[in-house]
Amino acid sequence: MGLFDKIKGELIDIIEWLDSSNDTMVYRFERYGNEIKTGAKLTVRESQAAVFINEGQIADVFQPGMYTLETENMPILSTLKGWKHGFNSPFKAEVYFVNTKRFTDLKWGTKNPIMLRDPEFGPVRLRAFGSYAVRVSDPATFLKEIVGTDDDFNTEEISNQLRNIVVARFTDALGESKIPMLDLASNYDELGEFITKKISGEFGEYGLKLSKLLVENISLPEAVEQALDKRASMGVLGNLNQYTQFQAANAMETAAGNPGGMAAGGMGMGMGFAMANQMGNAMGGAQQPPAQQAPPQQAPPPVPPSVSFFIAVNGAQTGPFDMAALSQKVGSGELKREALVWKNGMAAWTAAGEVPELSGLFGQVPPPLPPG
C-alpha cells in the first residue's frame, strides 16, 4: 500500500462491513499493516459476528452491537498484547466479519441414479434433487475448520462438500425406509425432516447449522417413466372392448359429418357400409352363439411305424425289408410261403405263409399252373 493508504489507516477509526452480495459468508477487514488504533469504533450489525485474530489465533469474538476497542471490552486480546501495563499504541490484529444470516436455496442432487429394490417393480433407479438452507452457528469453529485465511469466502466454496454430505445421507435414508416408489411423493416432508436431524451433527462440526432441507423431486429414468405411463393409460381405458366400440362410433360420426365423403356416391356408401360392418363386429362379434362358430380342427393321429422282416436265404440272414419290398419279392417269386422270416418281437423264425402280416401278400399271387 502507498502513503495515502497508511495515512487513511491512521485517521479512520471505524471498523464495519456492509455486504452487497447474497453469498459472502466471511470477509476480512483490510487495514494498513493490520494496525487498529486504541479507541476505534467497531460496528457489528445484526446477522454478523466479528472475529479478531492475533498472531494466528482467535483472540475475541464480538456479537452484534457497537464497541469501543479498549482494554475493558477485549480482555483476551488485551492479555495477549500486554495492555494491562497501560500501553496506548495501535495494536496489530486481523478482523474477520462472519455473515450469520441464513443462506437459502442451496441446491443438492444425485449425480448418479440410486439403485433400490422396490416391492412392486423390483430393482429401480431413482434420481432426486432439492434445496437446503444453512447458516453459521459458531463463527470461531467455522473460521478454523473451513475458512482459514481466505479473505472473501462465499457459499460456492463449500456447497460441493455440503451437497455430498446431503446426498450420501439421503441415499442411506431412502434405502432404509423401504418406502414403495409410488408412495415416495407423499413422504417428501418426512424424508426432509429425518435427513435434517440425521446430518445436523456433521454440519455442526463445521460451525454450521442446517436450517431446512427440502426434497423437491424423486424421478425415474425416462424409459421407465414411459412404461409406467403406458401402464397408467391401460388402467384409465379400462375395458378395451368398450373403448374399441367408442372409437368406431367416433369414426362413423366423423365420416357422417364430412360432406365430401357423403357426396362421393357409391364410394361414400361403400365406406359407410364397411365402417358399419366393422362397428357391428366390434360390438357383437364377442356375443356370437357357439353354434355359429366353426368347430376347432383336430390334429391327425401319428403315422404307424413301418414293419420290417428278415428273410433266411440259403442259411444266411438278409434284410430287413419293408412291406413294399416284401410285396415285390413275392411277386417276383423270390419269397415263397415256406421261406423263413423273422421280425422284432417274434419268438423264432417262421414260414412266411404262416405270418398274419405276410399271408395277404401270397393271396395276391396266382397258384402255379397244373402240369400239361
Do 152 and 231 meet the contact criterion of CB atoms below 8 Å apart?
Answer: no
- Residue 330: per-residue pLDDT: 79
- Note the pLDDT of residue 103: 95
Looking at residue 309, what is its pLDDT?
A: 82
- Report which residue type is found at 343: K
**Rounded to two decimals, what is the model's pTM?**
0.56
CATH topology of domain 103-223: Tetrahydropterin Synthase; Chain A (3.30.479)
pLDDT of 17 reads: 93
| Cα(108)–Cα(171) distance, integer angstroms | 12
Q: Which pLDDT belongs to residue 160?
A: 93
pLDDT of residue 128: 93
pLDDT tens across the length of the chain (372 residues): 454 454 444 445 788 999 888 899 999 988 766 677 767 888 999 999 999 887 778 888 999 999 887 655 565 555 555 544 444 445 677 899 999 999 999 999 998 889 988 888 888 889 999 999 999 999 999 999 999 989 999 999 999 999 999 999 999 998 888 888 888 889 999 999 999 999 999 999 999 999 999 999 998 878 777 777 776 666 665 566 666 776 777 777 777 766 554 444 445 445 555 555 655 555 555 455 555 555 667 777 776 667 788 888 877 888 788 878 878 887 787 888 888 888 877 878 888 778 877 777 777 556 666 675
Buried b (16+ CB within 10 A) or exposed e, 281-320: ebeeeeeeeeeeeeeeeeeeeeeeeeeebbbeeeeeeebb
Q: What pLDDT is attached to residue 96?
A: 94
Residue 33, pLDDT score: 66
pLDDT of residue 11: 45
What the block records as the C-alpha cell of 274 is: 364397411
CATH number of 308-363: 3.30.1490
Domain boundaries, the chain: 3-99, 103-223, 308-363
pLDDT at 304: 64
Q: Residue 320, preceding bond cis, omega within 30 degrees?
A: yes
Common-topology check for domains 103-223 and 308-363: no
Give the pLDDT score at 239. 61
